[in-house]
Amino acid sequence: MDRRRLLLVVAAVIAALGVALVFVYAHNADARAADKYDSVEVLTAAQEIEPGESLDDALENGKVQLTHIAKAQLLDGASEDSKPLRDKVALTTIYPGEQLVPVKFGALEDVEAAATLPIPEGKLAISILVKDDGRVGRFTRAGAEISVISTVLDDAGHPALTRVLLDRVTVLADGSQTVKKDDADTTESDSGDAELQRLVTVAVTQKQAEKVRFAEKSGELSIALLNDKSDVKTGAPVTRDNLFD
């Protein structure tokens, strides 16, 4: 009988410990969830803020808004107070939804210094004009690696061959968008059918620069975005005869 009582007491103690552990775990889980989802108000970009654009101008043009951000996502220096950033300009492009942090703002001369292209030793910087639909959207930013693809046209303006011209080069800058117009009097606002083009500046060797400039006169250039696992090799061109091989 004493043994049965002992077993019942032990079982009761174990059950009590189990309940206590469940309670502690649930309490801690609630605390973690509260920390994760508890939000604060911070300044964020409502529209794209360009390098060199002052915070005062951005505020005046409605490019800044107050946004609720989870505390777990709060960046260092971000707050709802614009005073620390007044009289300063954006050092880099700030995209919609980004938190406004002091590290991205500074003096105008800092923007000019940052705008100098970091050309690798022994390389040249050249700009390639490509169709907007041939530049992988907005992902060809500085630091990205791309392949340059050449399509050579025949005398009638039809594609004769396509091949990889440069297998891997680094983007130094993604430049301004231009509009190719058939009529010199056509404005961008009324040129719905105009062809969008964009300058992409890359670091290349002298030989690569010469290839690009020759290929530009022979046809059209496009680019392909790469990552560190992309397998790209220059090889035999694709023509009408082997297109479906």
In tens, the pLDDT along 88-129 reads 888 888 889 889 999 888 887 666 555 566 788 899 999 888
DSSP helix/strand/coil, 43: strand
* DSSP string over 9-57: HHHHHHHHHHHHHHHHHHHHHHHHHHHHH-EEEEEEESS-B-TT-BHHH
Give the pair of three-digit tokens for residue 110.
């800092």
Contact 71, 126 (CB under 8 A): no
Contact 197, 179 (CB under 8 A): yes
In tens, the pLDDT along 5-17 reads 666 666 666 766 6
What confidence category does residue 44 fall into, taking pLDDT thresholds of 50, 70 and 90?
Answer: very high
* pLDDT, the chain, mean: 79
What is the pLDDT averaged over residues 204-213? 95
Distance CA 221, CA 162 (A): 10
Share of the chain above pLDDT 90, in %: 29
Scan for tokens 């940052």, then name that residue. Answer: 114
Residue length of the chain: 245
Scan for tokens 């050249």, then name that residue. Answer: 126
Res. 213: pLDDT tops 90: yes
In tens, the pLDDT along 117-162 reads 678 889 999 988 887 665 565 667 778 899 999 999 998 889 999 9
Task: CATH 3.90.1210.10 in the chain: give the residue spans.
Answer: 39-113
Range from 42-46, 56-60, 195-199, 218-222 carrying the lowest mean pLDDT? 195-199
Taking the whole predicted model, whether its pTM rises above 0.85 is answered as no
For domain 39-113, give the CATH number.
3.90.1210.10
Distance CA 245, CA 56 (A): 59
Q: What is the pLDDT of residue 74?
A: 85
